[in-house]
Amino acid sequence: MKLVPLADRVVLKQFEAEETTKSGIILAGSAQEKPQEAEVVAVGPGGNVDGKEVTMHVKVGDKVIYSKYAGNEVKLDGEEYIIVKQNDILAVVAD
């Protein structure tokens, strides 16, 4: 199956949470902080949203940083995704 977002929605796949701290301490699953960095896997068409014209500024494959409490978590075919509005994306990470 494939997720196809509508309007100004973006489907993200989170990167794995860090299992150890920089100093080498191993974190239990409950202590791991969810990363706010993800990869864009699908982008909606944009268009007219709530009476305003929305142009999509991200594309599939972009690495992005998004708001900590943004979006809805979705599980599909054993994979976890987050669906957010484009304005919940704070930055694109450039290599």
What CATH number does residue 72 fall under?
A: 2.30.33.40
Q: What is the pLDDT of residue 33?
A: 56
CA distance 64 to 61: 9
* Confidence band for 1, pLDDT divided at 50, 70 and 90: confident
Q: What is the pLDDT of residue 16?
A: 75
Phi, psi of 86 (to 5 degrees): -55, -35
Q: pLDDT by residue (tens digit) across 12-41?
A: 999 876 566 667 766 555 544 566 899 999
Does 4 reside within a domain? Answer: no
Does 63 reside within a domain? Answer: yes
Q: Total structural domains in the chain? A: 1
Q: pLDDT by residue (tens digit) across 42-89?
A: 999 999 988 999 999 999 999 999 998 999 999 999 999 999 999 999
Does 22 reside within a domain? Answer: no
Over range 86-95, report the average pLDDT.
Answer: 94
Q: What is the pLDDT of residue 17?
A: 62
Does 42 reside within a domain? Answer: yes
* Pair 82, 42: CB distance under 8 Å: no
Q: 54 lies in which domain range?
A: 9-17+31-93
Kindly state the tokens that stand for 25.
């301490």
Does pTM top 0.85 for this prediction? no
